[in-house]
Amino acid sequence: MGESRIPFNKPYMSGRETEYIAEAVASGKICGNGIFTKKCQAFFEKKYGFKKALLTSSCTDALEMAAILTGVGPGDEVIIPSYTFVSTALAFVRQGATIVFADSRADNPNIDTAKIEALVTPRTKVIVPVHYAGVACEMDEIMDIAKRHNLLVVEDAAQAIDSYYTGKDGVRRPLGSIGHLGCFSFHETKNIIAGEGGMLTINDERFMARSEIIWEKGTNRSQFFRGEVNKYGWVDIGSSFLPSELQSAFLWAQIENIERIQSKRIEHWNKYRAAIEPLQEKLHCRLPDIPQCNNAHMFYVVFDSLEHRTKFVEFMRERSILCVFHYLSLHSSPFYAEKHDGRALPESDRYSDTLLRLPMYYELPVEEVIAAIREFAAIPRQKNEKQVQYRADRS
């Protein structure tokens, strides 16, 4: 088949992206840390209360900066959920750390907080909660564990811009502002985009100065341009993590429309929820559990078997509607399987086999997708249809 009539994702364009890119070009400064970069960073710091925000070329870059800042190296352990994108683990593997994979919750793919403390050893240095689908992990419990064991917390908030967590104290905090460090993505599949792009948020004073040095290739160049030092040189490790002004200019056009984008995505999300909720039994799936804020980054369902997910995907593909699964468990990946400690992580494997994401973007013809879902649900099923349930033992 050719290109889907309704793709999984379609990048939103405000109409001013090329205007701002042209403005950046006309300014004569299109390398990093120019006017648009500063405007974007100031916006995020003001709106979400991040102590410091640094734009990066990708969320992978932000995670790699975070891994450097935590100081992990060979012999250190980092606790990460297995059901996540490879970048979450890769950033720490590059520093020589050992990844200790945690399982997901039974009711949503976020890390199972109840199982974290049992994984902590004297070698543990960092916990990396991943806010899957922009839904907050149990940050009070995670921060309590980190405090008890003197650990650092890096929030992988790649999918969580404009999403919040309300703690036991009743205070509502933006995701990415709770841990010591936070990492965001502005990839074209995210709520606001720069094509490729990311951001590191620094919420602990200990990392403020060094984060800027690592961001600027291990130099104190930013301090020099602010007049804080009379020359700049190589003072630390780092890399070219900052984005060009062209990326930042594009992102600024998105930021100006974040409220409108979010309103439309939430409208689509609510329509999906209302339509699918009464059909769960007929679809052989269940809806996501949303314990807290939902930023409508994605809408996913969890089928009761791989077989039922496959049938649904094929049905939707025949109608030129692209629905896609998501991560494959990292603990059983070709790269890390032999390094994993052998523990079974059944919930992570279950989501790999049964979770499915529906199309989600600003211009989505959501009623057409819902009509196809209802059509699938109306297909008569044989009473003796074999129900192939998920098996925890995948060997």
Looking at the structure, tell me whether residues 309 and 174 fall in a common domain. Answer: no
Instruction: Report if residue 368 sits inside a domain.
Output: yes
33 and 145 fall within a common domain: yes
Boundary residue ending a domain (255, 285, 307): 255
Asked if 363 and 12 touch (Cβ cutoff 8 Å), the reply is yes
Report how many domains make up the chain: 2
DSSP 3-state assignment of 67? helix
> What CA dihedral angle connects 287, 293, 296 and 301, to 10 degrees?
-10
- Tell me the angle at which helices 245-255 and 17-27 cross, rounded to the nearest 10 degrees: 140
In a domain, 2, yes or no: no
Residues 178 and 271 in one domain: no
Could you tell me if residue 383 is inside a domain?
Answer: no
Rounded distance between C-alpha atoms, residue 141 and residue 113, angstroms: 7
Same domain for 195 and 293?
Answer: no
Domain housing 331: 258-377
User: Which CATH number do you get for residue 330?
Assistant: 3.90.1150.10
Residue 35 lies in a domain: yes
**CATH for 198:** 3.40.640.10
Q: Do 228 and 263 reside in the same domain of the chain?
A: no
How do strand 124-127 and strand 355-358 relate by DSSP bridges?
A: unpaired
Instruction: Mark whether 250 and 345 lie in a shared domain.
Output: no
CA-CA distances (angstroms) from residue 100 to 95, 193, 245, 308, 339? 14, 31, 37, 32, 10
365 shares its domain with 314: yes
Per-residue pLDDT tens digits of the chain, which is 395 residues long: 457 899 999 999 999 999 999 999 999 989 989 999 999 999 999 999 999 999 999 999 999 999 999 999 999 999 999 999 999 999 999 999 999 999 999 999 999 999 999 999 999 999 999 999 999 999 999 999 999 999 999 999 999 999 999 999 999 999 999 999 999 999 999 999 999 999 999 999 999 999 999 999 999 877 766 677 666 888 999 999 999 999 999 999 999 999 999 999 999 999 999 999 999 999 999 998 887 778 999 999 999 999 999 999 999 999 999 999 999 999 999 999 999 999 999 999 999 999 999 999 999 999 999 999 999 999 986 543 444 443 333 33
- Sheet containing strand 355-358, edge to edge, reads 285-286, 299-303, 355-358
In the block, residue with structure tokens 């804020």: 293
74 and 163 together in one domain: yes
Shared domain check, 313 and 230: no
Residue 386 lies in a domain: no
Find, among 367, 343, 351, the residue nearest to 133 by Cα: 351
Residue 87 located in a structural domain:
yes
Last residue of a domain, one of 208, 231, 255: 255
One domain, residues 127 and 202:
yes
* Pair 286, 357 in one domain: yes
